[in-house]
Amino acid sequence: MKLFVDTGNVKEIEALAALGILDGVTTNPSLLAKESGDYRQILKQICQIVRGPVSAEVVATDTAGMLREGRDLASIDEHVVIKVPFTKDGVRACKTLASEGQRVNVTLIFSATQAWLAAKVGAAYVSPFVGRLDDVGTTGMNLVREIVDIFDNFEFPTEILVASVRNPIHVVEAARMGADVVTAPAAVIEQCFKHPLTDIGLERFLKDWEKAQAAKV
């Protein structure tokens, strides 16, 4: 399963990329609005760091606007993936952009039928939002399981990109279900590194080593 980080912060991306674990980045207008500077330059810099898929989202809500903005975003760098919302206009835009050879990430997926329709028009990625489903009393990961089953049945090339990830449990479940990609905030990825027994074990090893060296003196 590929790992993307969900952020527009260049420093967070650089730190994760340096570890060799990062496959791509997802951004959205809200994330980029938090950063200072021109969003086009920020996206270009992110692409140069990651050298992998970087989702950049349109803000238009009509098909013509999505096409215009999507093509403009794609011109920033070859690694840009155009991100459109799942609406009828978004589906139409995805169909056109995909036919032009552009990679499209259809976002705000909350049902298996939405994912299926996005795949039918050539989406490169569909992004089910598991955390937001959990927030309204639904088990978000059940949606991922449904999409995996459907895509396996019909061999859709569309990749399932699990989004709105809130904790490492979401990451583990996504991997077990066979999702293609998980995108998570840097804080959640940091949590994936942590386990108290690792810290205790390392501390014990170091103390034992110190005792052994002291005994040789």
Catalytic residue among 83, 95, 207, 211: 83
Sign, Cα dihedral of 171, 108, 84, 93: positive
**88-99 and 112-120 are packed helices; what angle lies between their axes, rounded to 10 degrees?**
30
Residue 23 carries which side chain, given as an amino acid letter? Answer: D
In angstroms, the CA 63 to CA 124 distance is: 18
Q: Catalytic annotation on 83?
A: yes
In angstroms, the CA 209 to CA 66 distance is: 61
Residue pair 122/95 in contact by the 8 Å Cβ criterion: yes
Residue pair 50/10 in contact by the 8 Å Cβ criterion: no
Residues labelled as active-site residues: 83
